[in-house]
Amino acid sequence: MAKRFNLTDPEERKEYFELKAGPEIKKLRDFLKKNTFVAYLLGKKNSGKGTYAKMFAEIVLPEKIEHFSVGDMVRAVDLEMRDERTREKLFSYLSRNYRGRLNLKEAIFALEHRNTSSLLPTELILALIKREMEKREKKTLFIDGFPRDLDQINFSLFFRDLIGHRDDPDVFILIDVPEKVIDERIKWRRICPKCQNSRNLKLLPTPEVGYDKEKNEFYLICENCKVRMERKEGDELGIEPIRERLKLDQKLMEIASSFYGIPKIFLKNSIPVEKAKELVDDYEITPEYIFQWDGEKVIKTERPWIFEDDQGIASYSLLPPPVVVSLIKQLVEVLGL
């Protein structure tokens, strides 16, 4: 009987990856010891881009791989601009490399006075991404969070300017996640108020679960801080507040998938129920957790989570490791290893 792995346990996860993709992992490690590549992560909001990139790094060669989001990059620039020395270096770089419809002074003003309803000039984002790529020239990069205010032509030109900026291979990684999965990830998300650890009451609970008798609801206890985790305001609405954003993300992914001249990797985190037995092991399927209060303690049970995908097909969601196995195998192919 084949071994069942607990894919939430780091040690068992290593053994799982060795079994499922050991030869491919070795090829990637050998390649990355002397070479690099740049991967552009394209997917809807909450599609798991950061999770997949970080798990890939953890399994393959963490010291040679970095993931960064454009949002994190912009927030880091905020800190640079508060220090006179780093601010001067940033301005010097932008004066040499920024080319845009606004002059540099106007672009910097937009950066300093931005808010959640305004988008930064695309050309400024482009210059800042190039700067990060140059700072990490000896690292393989997974980049996500690209401008959304682009029509088809400008979106193409944006990536044409990035592709080939470093002398190493470029790869698109397109991630397909059904909206129902994103909706449940948001609705059941819980955040630790102290360490910001994020888990999911329905799909990824912490080891310790409590019960609030007054509210008649279950809650997660952060395994790091031992405090009650909370729901972010608005999470109960799921994808409704970001539905238009998801439509735009889908459109941009479709445009990117039609680009010529750059290898593409397609990742899918769901599988039709009727095909699951022949393609995946049952422990690779995302479970849903059901809680009951017996008067003294919380009783937890689990079962495979079944939902309807965007085409109305009964499907399972896959845990991150099998999706990363697919990423590993496709990367070996597109890099010609």
pLDDT in tens, 150-203: 776 678 888 888 998 889 999 999 999 999 999 999 999 999 999 999 999 999
pLDDT at 176: 95
Is pLDDT of 206 > 70?
yes
Is pLDDT of 35 > 60?
yes
pLDDT at 112: 76
Length of the chain in residues, anyone? 337
| Model confidence band, residue 289 (pLDDT cutoffs 50, 70, 90) | very high
pLDDT at 120: 75
User: Which of 279, 285, 64, 50 shows the shortest CA–CA distance to 173?
Assistant: 50
Instruction: Confirm if 291 and 209 have CB atoms less than 8 A apart.
Output: yes
Instruction: Confirm if 129 and 73 have CB atoms less than 8 A apart.
Output: yes
Is pLDDT of 1 > 60?
no
pLDDT at 152: 66
> What does the DSSP 8-state code read for residue 211?
E
Instruction: Confirm if 268 and 316 have CB atoms less than 8 A apart.
Output: no
DSSP string covering 181-209: HHHHHHHTEEE-TTT--EEETTTB--SEE
| Model confidence band, residue 115 (pLDDT cutoffs 50, 70, 90) | low
pLDDT at 30: 97
> What does the DSSP 8-state code read for residue 47?
S
Domains of the chain: 33-51+59-174+260-266 (3.40.50), 178-258+285-317 (no CATH)
Q: Identify the residue with better confidence: 114 or 198.
A: 198
Is pLDDT of 300 > 60?
yes
Instruction: Confirm if 200 and 317 have CB atoms less than 8 A apart.
Output: no
DSSP string covering 270-315: EEEHHHHHHHS-GGGBPEEEEEEE-SSSEEEEEEE-EEE-TTS-EE
Percent of the chain with pLDDT over 90: 67
- Over residues 130-149, the pLDDT tens digits come to 999 998 888 999 999 887 77
Q: Which residues, including other chains, have CB under 8 Å from residue 199's CB and lie 6 or more apart?
A: 189, 190, 205, 206, 220, 222, 229
